[in-house]
Amino acid sequence: MVIVGDDPASQVYVKNKEKACEAVGFNSFKYALPAETTEEELLALVDKLNNDDRVDGILVQLPLPKHLDDKIIINNIRVDKDVDAFHPVNVGKIMIGDYSFLPCTPAGVMELIKSTGTEVAGKECVVIGRSNIVGKPQAMLLLHENGTVTITHSKTKDLKAVCRRADILVAAVGRARMVKADYIKEGAVVIDVGMNRDENGKLCGDVDFEDCKEKAGFITPVPGGVGPMTIAMLMKNTLTAGKEHHGIK
């Protein structure tokens, strides 16, 4: 795990990942680099980890400080150690449904949906947000499960009406408690990917949980919903990578 700079939220997430590694019995090495780290220095570390046989999975926590280009860094992580599935080769594999790693957050969302007993096939699935990390791959995973998928974004007309069609609603916009009860269909599965701080500094999701909890069939809280599942999926990918590297079935 590589973390650059001192973003407090990233530090919490990385700490939680370290704890998870310990809980499942993985060795983890944390590299906390100063915010001023240069591209050259970060690439040198990535290269060292690429070639270190003790390392099965590499994760560079995002966001990186502004002077560093995520794309260049991610492109240099070995494809078979890219346990985030952010490398363009892994992203491409996901598009065609031929993958070893799924991106952790969308994969965690799929597990949460599965846990409700809801069949995705044929359902109206609406994803709010089109980021490369969540929105786009999320839509693809729902599509692989034969959902009828709509991706919405800032230019979507009448977002509320589109969301109200959803049997499965995944909110990944990054706007505190934006989704209210009038955005959801009675009985819908509502998955909240948001990780925001409200005006009082309190951690909250994109969904107004209190407002929606009676109307939704199933709803995930923040904290304690998608975040821990993201980490669980990271452990799963790392195990897959480790087995592959060591020839274990």
Using the minimum distance from each CB to ligand L34, give the nearer residue, 12 or 79. 12
Figure out which of the listed residues 59, 109, 212, 235 binds ligand L34, where binding follows CB under 6 A. Answer: 59
Residue spans of alpha helices (H) in 60-177? 70-75, 88-95, 104-115, 135-144, 159-164
Contacts of 209 (CB under 8 A, 6+ apart): 177, 192, 219, 221, 222
SS3 category, 7: coil
Q: How far apart are CA 55 and CA 47, in angstroms?
A: 12
Using the minimum distance from each CB to ligand L34, give the nearer residue, 62 or 181. 62
Using the minimum distance from each CB to ligand L34, give the nearer residue, 12 or 181. 12
SS3 category, 180: coil
Figure out which of the listed residues 12, 79, 178, 181 binds ligand L34, where binding follows CB under 6 A. Answer: 12
Q: What is the smallest separation between the CB atom of 24 and ligand L34, expressed in angstroms?
A: 15
Does residue 209 bind ligand L34 (CB under 6 A)? no
Closest CA to 60 of 107, 110, 17, 8: 17
Q: Are 101 and 241 in contact (CB under 8 A)?
A: yes
Binding mask 167-206 for ligand L34 (x = CB under 6 A): ----------------------------x-------x---
Using CB under 6 A as the binding criterion, the count of chain residues that bind ligand L34 stands at 19
Using the minimum distance from each CB to ligand L34, give the nearer residue, 94 or 195. 195
What are the tokens at 7? 């973003």
Q: Are 234 and 83 in contact (CB under 8 A)?
A: yes
Does residue 82 bind ligand L34 (CB under 6 A)? no
Using the minimum distance from each CB to ligand L34, give the nearer residue, 58 or 163. 58
Cα-based distances in Å from 118 to 148, 164, 230, 233: 14, 17, 20, 20
Apex 136 CA angle, 32 and 138, nearest 5: 85
Does residue 85 bind ligand L34 (CB under 6 A)? no
Figure out which of the listed residues 3, 37, 55, 61 binds ligand L34, where binding follows CB under 6 A. Answer: 61
Q: How far apart are CA 59 and CA 101, in angstroms?
A: 13
Does residue 212 bind ligand L34 (CB under 6 A)? no
Figure out which of the listed residues 161, 186, 228, 243 binds ligand L34, where binding follows CB under 6 A. Answer: 228
SS3 category, 192: strand
Figure out which of the listed residues 49, 125, 166, 231 binds ligand L34, where binding follows CB under 6 A. Answer: 231
**84 catalytic per annotation:** yes
Does residue 92 bind ligand L34 (CB under 6 A)? no
**61 catalytic per annotation:** yes
Which of 84, 167, 192, 206 does the annotation list as catalytic? 84
* Tokens 């240069």, located at residue: 38
Q: Around 176, how many Cα atoms within 13 Å sit in the side-chain half-sphere? A: 9
Residues interacting with ligand L34, by CB under 6 A?
12-13, 16, 59-62, 84, 104-105, 195, 203, 222-224, 227-228, 230-231
Q: Catalogue the active-site residues.
A: 17, 61, 84
